[in-house]
Structure 1
Amino acid sequence: MDTKEKYAQYVNTSFVKSVEPVVVERAAGAEVHAADGKTYLDCFAGIAVVNAGHVHPRIAEAAKAQIDQLIHAASYIYYVPTVADLAETLARITPGALQKSFFCNSGAEAIEGALRLAKIATGKREIIALQMAFHGRTYATLSITGNKARKTRGGPYMPGVAFAPAPYCYRCPLKLQPESCGLACADAVEDVIKYQTSDDVAAFIVEPVLGEAGLIPLPDGYLARVQEILKRHGILLLVDEVQTGFGRTGKLFAIEHHPGVEPDMMAMAKGIAAGFPLGAFIAPAALADNFLPGEHLSTFGGNPVSCAAALANIAVLQEEHLVEHAAELGNWALGELKQLQEKHVLIGDVRGQGLMIGIELVKDRTTKQPATAEAARVRAFCREAGVLIGVGGQDGNVLRLQPPLLITQEQLAHAINTISQALTAC
């Protein structure tokens, strides 16, 4: 029985339409090598996880060295040097007064913990999130996810959650134009507080780039306006950097694209440890210390091997200038894709920050009818041509380019050319 047959028999994959027909045997840098001998250029990075590239030698060596020394020691019961070193590093590299980290295993777990801390610290019980947002697949994170497709057959969900309009300029939910709207979507947060809550809101949670919604960057000035509103109402700003963090957008953290905005709490995962399971949320000491003994814990949180990998990963991102590379290459790629948009009528919008780029396909640029089937065909064409990309968005019509940050311009040019060929074929 081969790997595909074993998946069909023993692995529950019913939550995805289909598993990509690629049996991954090994990977390095920006390339994935399949069991059949075929090599793929990876422009999805394990859903924006291996930011420093697959099996980076420095990160792999750090993890191997830690395995030989200590694998597990319950880091919330005993002192573990690697955990302390990572917490100190995160306090140094994250913005503002963020200082104390809680380590867990995933982005969803990080956000669950941050929500709990927000409620405990403020004494309030409600949460505001964005329509179209995605924050995970656990009970609380699905409760604050504004996407019906992700929530179907799982309700009823957690009470006390309100949703503000998504700042999605290409498809403005308020039917306004970006150049004249005056950031009405930001002002709408105040209306949500006034009309959809009982004025008992602990936190507003937001992704600096809406990932699963279709790689939608927040408009300039949006977060600054929202934070003004939140401060007037004593509401914490919880920033979800699970997908946008660790260089993905051309800044170490995407919140840095919003001058003057400092999060009260921040959740991290995905790119934090280059593929090793690790999540974290971080807050100022005055907030973090609101937890009482025994109120929160994670058995495997702060795993020494994952923490060692995370420390090496952060060093690689900084010392090999991958964050700056992502910014420069992302700007170049957006320019190339804008030119592609002029050539292919299927492309309705091109957007992104750094190497977090979305290409929205539409059947008609006037009606903006989502080209869902075409997006699936483009992805399949690219895969057959040896390029792995993602597809997302509310209607599954957005091509996702999120490669390892060490991808070269030549490699990315090849990927863009392959997408162009696929669009022609469609």
Structure 2
Amino acid sequence: MNPDELLRRHRAVMPGWIALYYERPIELVRGEGFKVWDSEGNEYLDFFGGIVTTISGHAVPEIVEVVRSQAERIFHSSTLYLIRNQILLAEKLVELSPISGENKVFFVGSGSEANEAALLFATTYRNSGEVIALRGSYHGGSYGAMSVTGQAPWRATSRSALDVSYAINPHPAYGPLGPEEAAGDVRNLIETATTGHVAAFIAEPIQGVGGFIEPPPGYFRRVKEILDETGILFISDEVQTAFGRTGDHFWGIEAHGVEPDLITMAKGIGNGLAMGAVMGRAEIMDSLSPKLHISTFGGNHLATAGAFANLNFILENGLQHNAREVGGYLKRRLEGIANEHEIVAEVRGRGLMLGVELGDAVAVNRVLELCRERGVLFGKGGLRGSAIRISPPLTVTREAAEEAAGVLESAIAGIGEGGR
């Protein structure tokens, strides 16, 4: 079945709002490391990693073998029974946690579910339905996660079970406020737009769908001081930033010298397996007691076996170090491109989580098309779809980064010369 026929059948049975990249969508059928192939045999450098997910690479033998071995034994039992790999994975995460004291972990099937669960824990623990989120944020496509998402294009409904207030993002794209003034806006929201008894503040260390926007140094530290005055919990949404992707730190929030109360994670934890988790202070995680709860699919045998193997692969192969080294090289290369081409408004991000702001969604779409034609897959994001997102597997080499940067530069040059 060729891609055109597959697209026709896709449109016949799938909702029309499901986004597809490219004027002629492609079907990826095979992957190896940081390379993928489509159904017509075309080879690409994968520099989006399944939306910041394939952190260790495609078809990693050490992970594949563990998943295959587990699949031959048992896929599923539910949390009504002990699951060995679930416990081993939770122990490893707790060992790596930046949250002091006793930590516990709850497993789910996605980043949206992880944020839903974190909001449930926070609102139950604090006995409050009020939450503060950042403008430009994205926390998932489920009902509750969507309600704390600060981007109109990603909110299918304005309805919510939560009372949400949105703080100003301290980035030039959202206004002129610096870190101290923007933190003051959080205080002002607490004092004016809430009852004063807020459950949680939720934020991404680097906004993913927002276009890889990072708050300036000092912002989160000042916000945390304000939150601590009344006991408001800090939820760090690490669905895209965790597991060494930002290079300098294992968890994205560590770059800001702040200790959150809850961390949510997904994407990279499973390297493509449907997997997510919430980790946090034990008293918060236990706050649903004495009620009884289960998870049918969260932390199942197959997903936790693969995730545990993936986490060990990241640690044993120094992928965080590679993210820092290759990501640093790639960012410098991108900054050089920005200096040569006026269409590039900003290069931002850390490690192998980099954004190139063009300020024009049409230009971004054209650049992505040109790069695909030349064998590189990038992503896009930003409040208006005006940023290119770059997030290859952390196994990527400097040579591949240089090749991808060269392709990107030639595409940007074409756009700048009127190729739009």
Q: TM-score range by the shorter chain?
A: over 0.9
Please say if 1:231 is aligned against 2:228: yes
Please say if 1:222 is aligned against 2:224: no
Normalising to structure 2: TM-score of the pair?
Answer: 0.94
Q: Is the 8 A contact 1:48 1:248 kept in 2?
A: no
Given candidates 36, 43, 66, the residue that maps to 1:62 is 66
| Pairwise CA RMSD | 1.5
CA distance in 1, matches of 2:250, 2:303: 19
CA distance in 1, matches of 2:368, 2:259: 37
Given candidates 125, 133, 147, the residue that maps to 2:137 is 133
Cα deviation 1:258-281 (Å, max 9, x = unaligned): 22x111001010000111001100
Q: Which moved more, 1:12-21 or 1:130-139?
A: 12-21
- Per the alignment, residue 164 of structure 2 pairs with 161
Q: Is the 8 A contact 1:51 1:247 kept in 2?
A: no
Please say if 1:242 is aligned against 2:239: yes
- Per the alignment, residue 287 of structure 1 pairs with 284
- Per the alignment, residue 11 of structure 2 pairs with 8
Q: Which moved more, 1:181-190 or 1:349-358?
A: 181-190
- What amino acid sits opposite 1:194 in the alignment? E
- What amino acid sits opposite 2:126 in the alignment? T
- Per the alignment, residue 367 of structure 1 pairs with none
- What amino acid sits opposite 2:297 in the alignment? F
Normalising to structure 1: TM-score of the pair?
Answer: 0.93
- Per the alignment, residue 418 of structure 2 pairs with none
Q: Is the 8 A contact 2:129 2:162 kept in 1?
A: no
Given candidates 171, 174, 178, the residue that maps to 2:173 is 171
CA offset at residue 172 of structure 1? 4.4
Given candidates 388, 391, 410, the residue that maps to 1:421 is 410
Q: Is the 8 A contact 2:179 2:216 kept in 1?
A: no
Given candidates 364, 383, 389, the residue that maps to 1:394 is 383
CA distance in 1, matches of 2:179, 2:362: 35
- Per the alignment, residue 303 of structure 1 pairs with 300
Equivalent position SS for 2:355: strand
Q: Is the 8 A contact 1:113 1:296 kept in 2?
A: no
Equivalent position SS for 2:30: strand
Q: Which moved more, 1:329-338 or 1:104-113?
A: 329-338
CA distance in 2, matches of 1:216, 1:11: 32
CA offset at residue 47 of structure 1? 0.3
Equivalent position SS for 1:183: helix
Equivalent position SS for 1:216: coil
Aligned ranges for residues 70-219 of structure 1 at < 5 Å?
70-75=74-79, 77-97=80-100, 99-152=103-156, 154-168=157-171, 170-173=172-175, 175-176=176-177, 181=178, 183-219=180-216
- Per the alignment, residue 43 of structure 1 pairs with 47
Please say if 1:269 is aligned against 2:273: no
CA distance in 1, matches of 2:94, 2:9: 44
CA offset at residue 295 of structure 1? 5.3
- What amino acid sits opposite 1:399 in the alignment? I
Q: Is the 8 A contact 2:352 2:391 kept in 1?
A: yes
Cα deviation 1:33-59 (Å, max 9, x = unaligned): 111111010000000101000111111
- What amino acid sits opposite 1:165 in the alignment? I
Q: Is the 8 A contact 2:144 2:162 kept in 1?
A: no
CA offset at residue 293 of structure 1? 4.6
Q: Is the 8 A contact 1:239 1:267 kept in 2?
A: yes
Instruction: Using the aligned pairs only, state the percent identity.
Output: 37
Cα deviation 1:191-245 (Å, max 9, x = unaligned): 1111111112010001000111110112111111111000002100011000111
- Per the alignment, residue 23 of structure 1 pairs with 27
CA distance in 2, matches of 1:221, 1:357: 21
Equivalent position SS for 2:72: helix
- What amino acid sits opposite 2:344 in the alignment? I
Equivalent position SS for 1:51: coil
Distance 1:45 1:13, change over 3 A: farther
Distance 1:182 1:239, change over 3 A: closer
Q: Is the 8 A contact 1:239 1:263 kept in 2?
A: yes
Q: Is the 8 A contact 1:140 1:158 kept in 2?
A: yes
CA offset at residue 378 of structure 1? 0.2
CA offset at residue 294 of structure 1? 4.4
CA offset at residue 18 of structure 1? 5.0
- What amino acid sits opposite 1:423 in the alignment? I
CA distance in 2, matches of 1:253, 1:37: 37
Given candidates 387, 412, 421, the residue that maps to 2:401 is 412
Q: Is the 8 A contact 1:59 1:312 kept in 2?
A: yes
Cα deviation 1:50-105 (Å, max 9, x = unaligned): 10001111111111111122210112x11111111111111011212362111110
- Per the alignment, residue 257 of structure 1 pairs with 255
Distance 1:182 1:401, change over 3 A: closer
- Per the alignment, residue 345 of structure 1 pairs with 342
User: Unaligned stretches of 5+ in structure 1?
Assistant: 362-369
Given candidates 290, 313, 336, the residue that maps to 1:316 is 313
Equivalent position SS for 2:223: helix
Cα deviation 1:295-314 (Å, max 9, x = unaligned): 54321011111101111111
Q: Which moved more, 1:155-164 or 1:47-56?
A: 155-164
- What amino acid sits opposite 2:348 in the alignment? R
User: Unaligned stretches of 5+ in structure 2?
Assistant: 416-420
CA offset at residue 6 of structure 1? 2.5
Q: Is the 8 A contact 2:131 2:200 kept in 1?
A: yes
Shift >3 Å, 4+ stretches: 17-20, 293-297
- What amino acid sits opposite 1:164 in the alignment? A
